[in-house]
Copies of this chain bind each other. A is one copy, B any other.
Amino acid sequence: MFTGIIEETGTIESMKKAGHAMALTIKCSKILEDVHLGDSIAVNGICLTVTDFTKNQFTVDVMPETVKATSLNDLTKGSKVNLERAMAANGRFGGHFVSGHVDGTAEITRIEEKSNAVYYDLKMDPSLTKTLVLKGSITVDGVSLTIFGLTEDTVTISLIPHTISETIFSEKTIGSKVNIECDMIGKYMYRFLHKANENKTQQTITKAFLSENGF
């Protein structure tokens, strides 16, 4: 469980591919202060398990399923990544639960500076936007953000300079691919409401329905 507040940006030291799977080694320091084998760390928003570590780097195994569903394949040795440790039990009960299970990717189609904020348009598949809500939360490469604009296939987010400088957003350009996790609560609501509707016989206001109700 994470909160989408990036603690440090790390650097890819090596990427060993074995078939569709991958072992990643990442250089960093702060988040290794209290690390243990088996700990969960979000790398660009992807929850991965520490299988090896030293004082200034750690290694994770990445399943084919995860490689396929995320932008990991776009990374190379030297790429910067957003890092966050799992939520501290005595940490703040933040406003947004991030599981680190990436739902899909999006492409940056607009970057626009307006006074002290930078606006980004993220183009993504409607299967992702359908569970989102204006002013709701979304996680982009592990960063918890507010949805300022929402259409069928595009989400608009806005970042303050602090967030940009503390994350890899500073390296993003038009066309960059980013990992998207939709808000957990939205996904549950979408599934339960639709299941409830599916269970209901398809009741549309038909002539028969109105006549049954005495019209």
The verdict on A117 contacting B65 (CB below 8 Å), with A40-B5, A93-B89, A101-B146 known, is: yes
A68: shortest Cβ distance to chain B, in Å? 11
A36: shortest Cβ distance to chain B, in Å? 9
A129: shortest Cβ distance to chain B, in Å? 10
Q: How far is the CA of A120 from the CA of B148 in the complex (A)?
A: 30
**B interface footprint on A121-136 (CB within 8 Å = 1, 0 otherwise):** 0000000001101111
Contact between A116 and B188 (Cβ–Cβ < 8 Å)? no
Contact between B193 and A40 (Cβ–Cβ < 8 Å)? no
Contact between A38 and B197 (Cβ–Cβ < 8 Å)? no
As for how many copies of this chain the complex holds, the number is: 3
Contact between A185 and B97 (Cβ–Cβ < 8 Å)? yes
Contact between A189 and B195 (Cβ–Cβ < 8 Å)? no
A residues 184-204 touching B (CB-CB < 8 Å): 184-197, 199, 204
Q: Which of B117, B135, B187 contacts A63 (CB 8 A)?
A: B117
List residues of chain B with CB within 8 A of the CB of A191.
133-134
Using CB atoms, name the residue of chain B closest to A206.
B213
List residues of chain B with CB within 8 A of the CB of A196.
133, 189, 193-194, 197
Q: Which of B5, B21, B101, B186 contacts A188 (CB 8 A)?
A: B186
Q: How far is the CA of A90 from the CA of B21 in the complex (A)?
A: 32
Asked whether any CB of chain B lies closer than 8 Å to the CB of A24, the reply is no
List residues of chain B with CB within 8 A of the CB of A93.
1, 86-89, 97, 184, 188
Using CB atoms, name the residue of chain B closest to A63.
B117
A82: shortest Cβ distance to chain B, in Å? 13
Asked whether any CB of chain B lies closer than 8 Å to the CB of A49, the reply is yes
List residues of chain B with CB within 8 A of the CB of A209.
205
Having A1-B94, A87-B90, A190-B192, one finds 5 other A-B pairs with CB under 8 Å, namely A38-B94, A64-B116, A88-B90, A93-B97, A93-B184
Q: Which 3 A-B pairs have the closest CB atoms?
A: A1-B93, A40-B94, A21-B116
